[in-house]
Amino acid sequence: MKIHIPLHLLDQIQSHGENAFPNEGAGLMLGQEENGKRTVESLLFLENAREEENQHNRYLITAEDMLLGEKEAARLSSSILGIFHSHPDHPNHPSEYDREFAIPWYSYLITSVNNAEAVGSRCWRLEDDRESFSEEIIQVISN
């Protein structure tokens, strides 16, 4: 599995995580999937809707924001391919909480942000049995 992301969009995702530090930042990746090939074309930066005191290790994108995302995707003739979020001072590996609330099919791109500096992103997809994630290779497209 691979997800193709233009370099400038990956930079924006990582900057968003840095700006959200010490809290988690999140948003949506919109784009195309054709014959299993995923390509991110645009991003939607969203508010972390979790209560302030829990934003350092939790994020929430409300159904109302997802509805906005679906409308934006329809306007762009694209789809919501997945979600990006940051892990402040933690590895870019899905947590147990991530697994519990994850939805199959979506790409979950996680950026590790250490001391307000993004140090790397990895992408994951939940298996159908909901028991584990598989890594989806990030293929960066040069600008």
Contacting positions for another protein (CB under 8 A): 24, 26, 50, 57-64, 66-67, 70, 79-80, 83, 85, 94-95, 97-98, 101-106, 108, 130
Question: Among all chains, which residue has been given the structure tokens 């645009």?
Answer: 42
Residue 65 Cα distances to 14, 15, 28, 31, 62, angstroms: 21, 21, 10, 17, 5
Measured CA to CA, the distance from residue 112 to residue 90 in angstroms comes to 6
Q: Smallest gap, in angstroms, from Cβ of residue 143 to another protein?
A: 28
Measured CA to CA, the distance from residue 27 to residue 5 in angstroms comes to 15
3-state DSSP assignment of residue 114: strand
Q: Smallest gap, in angstroms, from Cβ of residue 106 to another protein?
A: 5
Measured CA to CA, the distance from residue 5 to residue 42 in angstroms comes to 9
| Backbone phi and psi for residue 103, each to the nearest 5 degrees, phi listed first | -120, 135
Q: Smallest gap, in angstroms, from Cβ of residue 93 to another protein?
A: 12
Q: Smallest gap, in angstroms, from Cβ of residue 97 to another protein?
A: 4
